[in-house]
Structure 1
Amino acid sequence: MARLCVYLGSRLGNSPEFRHAAIELGAELAKRGHTLVYGGARIGLMGELANAVLDAGGKAIGVMPDHLVEREQAHFGLTELIRVRDMHERKATMASQADGFIALPGGIGTFEELFEIWTWGYLGLHDKPMGLLNINDFYSPLLTFLDNTVSHGFLGTATREMLLDAEGVSDLLDAIEAQL
């Protein structure tokens, strides 16, 4: 099936719902026959997601720059770990490996990756589906902000609609799959 790139935190966050969502997404990716593409860490939500994919018999591809291998504690039990020179090569490699993109809760790295891939879609550099898994209302303030950006004329409705969102794993995967 598809290769889905997931952006998410290298930390667990402060709600067990985030960890449960990462595990649920990993199991569902494997069940549906999708391959995970992600940042390659074995810690935080990233590690939980990768382990859930692998535990369910799926494939997980990690992409990590050499300088982060120790800092992010690379996951060496993946189907494949692609080591790259820097963050720019990491993001480009992840994008080229993926058929679609999902963001779970995370920090500035997650936000930066999400907004860059969304911008690339807006610019016509890809036409792959993108979505947010809005666990525990994590992304609700951002979604409100984005809708406000549309209402003030700085973001087109069609561009806003490129970014799917759902509160449940199955709902988001269904929406992503419908655009593959």
Structure 2
Amino acid sequence: MESAAALPVDSDVDALAPRHRPLHLKVRYVALVALGGAVGALARYALTTVLPAPQGWPLPTLLVNLAGAFALGALLEGLSRRGPDAGRLRVARLLAGTGFMGAFTTYSTLALDAVHLFGDDRIGAAFLYLAASLFGGAAATILGIWAAAGHHRAVSRRSPVTAPGHGTGTSIGMKS
């Protein structure tokens, strides 16, 4: 039986090519997520302390999660239309999307709020809250995507077509 070292090298694979570390192992990217997360958590805390909770119903958490779902849908749609996930686009996604929006939205608090409503025998209020959170979150995300796509279409109509991933530069199909 031959050893693995004796197997031929696949000609499509460069055995000497450097391996790239995954993003979650790169300190600068982890730091971006942490920074965005700290700001997102503070923003959530600030909003939930000033928004009213009528009759103990968790309206602040619902509004924060719906706003976050909308913003995340818009952000990711906008970034995806600008080009590949690299450079400044990756930084924006990690800082604003994963970091800020990840900490701003709070599904653990959603679950805890629902448990409290169920525990207080407010079954109808708990189911209404869960439905509004889940279906409202999906709808808010779709609306955010549509809003960003509509914004992209409007901007595209006003300005000349540019190379994907570039807001400025040489126009495609036009001589400079």
By relative contact order (CA 8 Å, sep 6+), the higher-ranking structure is: 2
Pair in the same fold by TM > 0.5: no
Q: Which bin holds the TM-score, normalised by the shorter protein?
A: under 0.3
TM-score by length of 1: 0.27
Bigger Rg, which one: 2
TM-score by length of 2: 0.28
